[in-house]
Amino acid sequence: MNIIYMSKSVSGFSKMSKSNKIDWIVATYFNHNEDAKHIIKQYWNTNIKLQQLHDEFIENTITNYYLPFGVAPNFLINDKMYAIPMAIEESSVVAAASKAAKFWLDRGGFKAEVLSTTKIGQVHFMFHGNFKTLYAFFKTVKPKLFEATQPITKNMEKRGGGIIDIELRDKSESMDGYFQLHATFETLDAMGANFINSCLEQFAKTFREEALNYDDFSEKEKNIEIIMSILSNYVPDCLVRAEVSCPVNDLTENPDINPEEFAKKFIQAVKIAEVEPFRAVTHNKGIMNGIDAVVLATGNDFRAVEAGVHAYASRNGRYSSLTHAKIENDIFYFWIEIPLALGTVGGLTSLHPLVKLALELLHNPSAKELMQVVAVAGLAQNFAALRSLTTTGIQEGHMKMHLMNILNQFEATNEEKKTLIDYFKTHTATHSAVVEAIHNLRSKK
């Protein structure tokens, strides 16, 4: 066991050439199988410069990992038309977004508004001594924290952003000796992670150095121990709201569905997600289908967004729905409120050609505009999911889209695809029904 484990270890991997890395992987984990090498290499881009750009985004790159990049057109947001770029592998997400966009296009479109844009970072430190003395020290050192970060903040300040405030927070009730510098930032069109982290590391350095020379501290108190300095991905004050509304009577396109009944059922479905965490997680997952796809297509950090959004969904002590719905004076309202820390400058935005293209498609938005578009994509996705779930059920639409995946698994020809897609327009598509239909079709030949 130990020998196998050792034989699969390697040192100096990061320094090997790409080709040697692949040789090592294929020899060690694929028993020298050339097919593995072929799969890895077939995803290389033929444009050497473009491939090198991707190679250098991360370490130890051996190939590229494709995701489909789709577009959901017909989004009317604050009276402006958008075709929204979406990078996602899940069948039916882009189709659902497009359907919801078209539906609301005829009903006034989406309204979106950024409620706040503040981001947060913290220096976590240990201090053992008198809190009053620590607080007095903090007050004297606070202007120095701003001063010391001037070289980092001056450009951001010129554009209207920067450090908003720094607070000292006593966390010693949760953990003995634990305190924080809790800072708030405005980073404008940048997601701001590097800016915030650089400021925080400077705060920590200045704070510790100044403490060593603070006469009112005892020798023990002088020795502030910095644990870490890092931004928080929980951004409850970087909030965006998106909404749709229309008279209840305009809610259904299908004459067989009573609009009032539909609205009531829809609102109950949302309420269930508000009160029941098991449902809320799936409900919000559907919202994130739309959100992550746009976040990814525009080169933003979807892990940061995911972490922050789910923390926000639990802010009242129980995981709950991110969307809400009501009827007021015969008008149906459906809305979302979510925290989104996004950037349209910095990071991948000017580096990755497809990200640049996605941003151009969105009229080169500011971070605030992008927050609105992303929130709308989440709301649209949730509308589409709830509409299917409360009427036909989700599988009808899902399986229609998944049909192509099954046909591809069976290497169906274009002619077979056409016949079977036509067939499943009037038949229920389940995995076994599709497999059976393929066999039947082929046995007739």
Residues at the contact surface with ligand MEV, assessed by CB under 6 A:
90, 282-283, 285-286, 289, 385, 389, 394
Integer angstrom CA distances of residue 375 from 14, 21, 73, 79, 289: 39, 41, 16, 16, 11
Tokens of 309: 């959004």
What type of residue sits at position 209? E
Indicate the residue among 171 and 398 with the shorter CB distance to ligand MEV: 398
Report which residue's Cβ sits closest to ligand MEV: 286
Indicate the residue among 155 and 282 with the shorter CB distance to ligand MEV: 282
Indicate the residue among 343 and 378 with the shorter CB distance to ligand MEV: 378
Residues designated catalytic: 90, 285, 301, 398
Distance (Å, whole) CA 260 – CA 245: 14
E strand residue ranges, 316-355: 323-328, 331-339
Long-range (24+ apart) CB contacts under 8 A made by 69-74 are 69/297, 69/354, 69/358, 70/94, 71/361, 72/97, 72/98, 72/101, 72/377, 72/380, 73/98, 73/101, 74/98, 74/101, 74/102, 74/105
Helices and strands in the chain, H and E counts: 17, 10
3-state helix, strand, coil in the chain (%, to 5): 50, 20, 30
- Residue ranges in 43-81 assigned as alpha helix (H): 48-55
- The distance of closest approach from Cβ of residue 398 to ligand MEV in the complex, given in angstroms and rounded to an integer, is 7
Integer angstrom CA distances of residue 331 from 101, 250, 251, 269, 391: 19, 9, 10, 18, 20
- The distance of closest approach from Cβ of residue 87 to ligand MEV in the complex, given in angstroms and rounded to an integer, is 15
Indicate the residue among 156 and 273 with the shorter CB distance to ligand MEV: 273
Distance (Å, whole) CA 341 – CA 105: 27
**Contact (Cβ atoms closer than 8 angstroms) between residue 422 and residue 414:** no
- The distance of closest approach from Cβ of residue 283 to ligand MEV in the complex, given in angstroms and rounded to an integer, is 5
Indicate the residue among 304 and 384 with the shorter CB distance to ligand MEV: 384
Sheet holding 323-328, edge to edge: 111-114, 239-247, 331-339, 323-328
Indicate the residue among 385 and 429 with the shorter CB distance to ligand MEV: 385
Element (H, E) at 133: helix 131-148
Q: Is the dihedral of CA 27, 33, 39, 45 positive or negative?
A: positive
Indicate the residue among 283 and 352 with the shorter CB distance to ligand MEV: 283
E strand residue ranges, 237-308: 239-247
Distance (Å, whole) CA 87 – CA 334: 25
- The distance of closest approach from Cβ of residue 389 to ligand MEV in the complex, given in angstroms and rounded to an integer, is 6
- The distance of closest approach from Cβ of residue 96 to ligand MEV in the complex, given in angstroms and rounded to an integer, is 8
Tokens of 195: 């800016």
